[in-house]
């Protein structure tokens, strides 16, 4: 039976084993999927041990995505753009690294939420690894404009400059939070870690165009601080990142097994569990 795993630190909270077990049962795939606690000073050794024991692939979560990028000898274009890897494939040619986060976000928006991105004004908040990981797939969706806003403007500008070289004349710009005053967007995506600190990014009022969607990559029961602030500012639609979690997992599953699972029932079941229904 083929073995897969997710590695992180901490890892006990991970929902990936349940998600992939559901995918395997649905698609008739014979595999096991476990959660591995990676020692902070022994990521590569832990991966090597798992691979030597017959492992076929791994998901990678905090704080090892940069180490996973360095460990892989081949990378997908989206992993190259992100500079980070969340999916490892072990094959005869060595270790292949991919990043499915951006694909998971775009599929959640367009497929689950019926929110087309083409010709839309998109605001992406944050300039860290989460934002970098989704920029290329968002640009590939051909928005009217993609604005990257961050508390430290220089970080946003540096990220935009890097992607401008990759994306050519893509409609991409950078600014600080205060510089957003007077502008409106159709989709606002929070890729900051503010929700982890029970905070919301300090955004000016009036950001949400009629019918706009507010999307927080974090997820949990009830509104995150960002979503609560978006609701107060008039966002028409609000959602957290649970769908992104399931969709990026499905993208990994497709890479490993060559079949895409139906995410709708898996996402619905996970949502019921989180909300205690």
Closest C-alpha to 130, from 214, 210, 245, 22: 245
pLDDT higher than 90, residue 157: yes
CA torsion sign for 35, 52, 78, 31 is negative
Q: What is the pLDDT of residue 56?
A: 98
Q: What is the pLDDT of residue 277?
A: 62
pLDDT higher than 90, residue 154: yes
Burial of 183 (0-12, 13-18, 19+ CB in 10 A): middle
What's the per-residue H, E or C state across the chain?
Answer: CEEEEEEECCCCCCCHHHHHHHHHHHHCCCEEEEEEECCCCCHHHHHHHHHHCCEEEEEECCCCHHHHHHHCCEECHHHHHHCCCCEEEEECCEEEEECCHHHHHHHHHHHHCCCCCCCCEEEEECCCHHHHHHHHHHHHCCCCEEEEEECCHHHHHHHHHHHHHHHCCCCEEEEECHHHCCCCEEEEEECCCHHHHCCCCCCCCCCEEEEEEEEECCCCCCCCHHHHHHHHCCCCEEECCHHHHHHHHHHHHHHHHCCCCCHHHHHHHHHHHHHCC
Between 242-257 and 263-275, two packed helices, what is the crossing angle to 10 degrees?
A: 140
- In the annotation, is 65 catalytic? yes
Residue 196 contacts residue 126 (beta carbons within 8 Å): no
Q: Which of the residues 33, 57, 65, 135 is marked catalytic?
A: 65
Q: What is the pLDDT of residue 275?
A: 85
With tokens 């000073």, the residue in question is 41
Residue 277 contacts residue 30 (beta carbons within 8 Å): no
pLDDT higher than 70, residue 82: yes
pTM for the full model? 0.95
Would you list which residues are annotated within the binding site? 14-16, 61, 86, 101, 126-130, 150-155, 217, 219, 241, 248
Q: What is the pLDDT of residue 257?
A: 98
221 or 183, higher pLDDT:
183
Q: What is the pLDDT of residue 264?
A: 97
**Which one of 10-14, 138-142, 161-165, 263-267 scores highest in mean pLDDT?**
263-267
Q: What is the pLDDT of residue 196?
A: 79
What is the mean pLDDT of the segment spanning 120-144?
A: 94
Closest C-alpha to 159, from 133, 179, 185, 182: 133
With tokens 């995918």, the residue in question is 23
Q: What is the pLDDT of residue 168?
A: 67
pLDDT higher than 80, residue 41: yes
pLDDT higher than 90, residue 105: yes
Confidence of residue 208 (pLDDT cuts 50, 70, 90): very high
Q: Which domains does the chain have, with CATH numbers?
A: 2-99+243-275 (3.40.50.10860), 102-240 (3.40.50.720)
Q: What is the pLDDT of residue 181?
A: 98
Q: What is the pLDDT of residue 164?
A: 80
Would you list which residues are annotated within the binding site for NADP(+)? 126-130, 150-155, 217, 241
* Cα 28 from chain centre: 26
pLDDT higher than 90, residue 169: no
Angle at 67 (CA atoms; ends 63, 70), nearest 5 degrees: 160
| Mean pLDDT computed over every residue of the chain | 95
Report the percentage of the chain scoring pLDDT > 70.
99
CB-based contacts of 114: which residues, under 8 Å, 6+ apart? none
**What six digits make up the tokens of 7?**
């590695």
Please give the order of strands across the beta sheet that includes 74-75: 31-37, 2-8, 55-60, 87-91, 94-98, 74-75
**What six digits make up the tokens of 52?**
């030597």
């Amino acid at each position: 039976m083929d073995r897969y795993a997710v590695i992180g630190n901490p890892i006990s909270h991970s929902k990936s084993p349940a998600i992939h077990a559901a995918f395997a049962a649905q698609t008739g795939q014979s595999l096991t999927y476990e959660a591995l606690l990676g020692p902070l000073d022994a990521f590569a050794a832990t991966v090597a041990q798992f691979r030597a024991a017959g492992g076929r692939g791994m998901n990678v979560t905090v704080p090892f995505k940069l180490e996973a990028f360095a460990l892989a000898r081949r990378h997908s274009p989206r992993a190259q753009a992100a500079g980070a890897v969340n999916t490892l494939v072990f094959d005869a040619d060595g270790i292949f690294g991919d990043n499915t986060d951006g694909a998971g976000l775009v599929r959640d928006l367009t497929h689950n939420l019926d929110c087309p991105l083409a010709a839309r004004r998109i605001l992406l908040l944050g300039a860290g690894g989460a934002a970098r990981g989704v920029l290329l797939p968002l640009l590939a969706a051909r928005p009217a404009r993609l604005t990257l806003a961050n508390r430290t403007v220089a970080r946003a500008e540096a990220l935009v400059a890097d992607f401008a070289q990759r994306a050519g004349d893509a409609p991409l710009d950078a600014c600080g939070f205060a510089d957003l005053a007077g502008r409106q967007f159709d989709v606002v995506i929070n890729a900051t870690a503010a929700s982890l600190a029970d905070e919301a990014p300090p955004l000016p009022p009036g950001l949400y165009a009629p019918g706009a969607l507010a999307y927080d990559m974090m997820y949990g029961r009830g509104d995150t601080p960002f979503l609560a602030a978006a609701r107060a500012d008039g966002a028409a639609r609000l959602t957290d990142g649970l769908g992104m979690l399931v969709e990026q997992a499905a993208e990994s599953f497709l890479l490993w097994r060559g079949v895409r699972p139906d995410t709708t029932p898996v996402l619905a079941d996970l949502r019921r569990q989180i909300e205690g229904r």
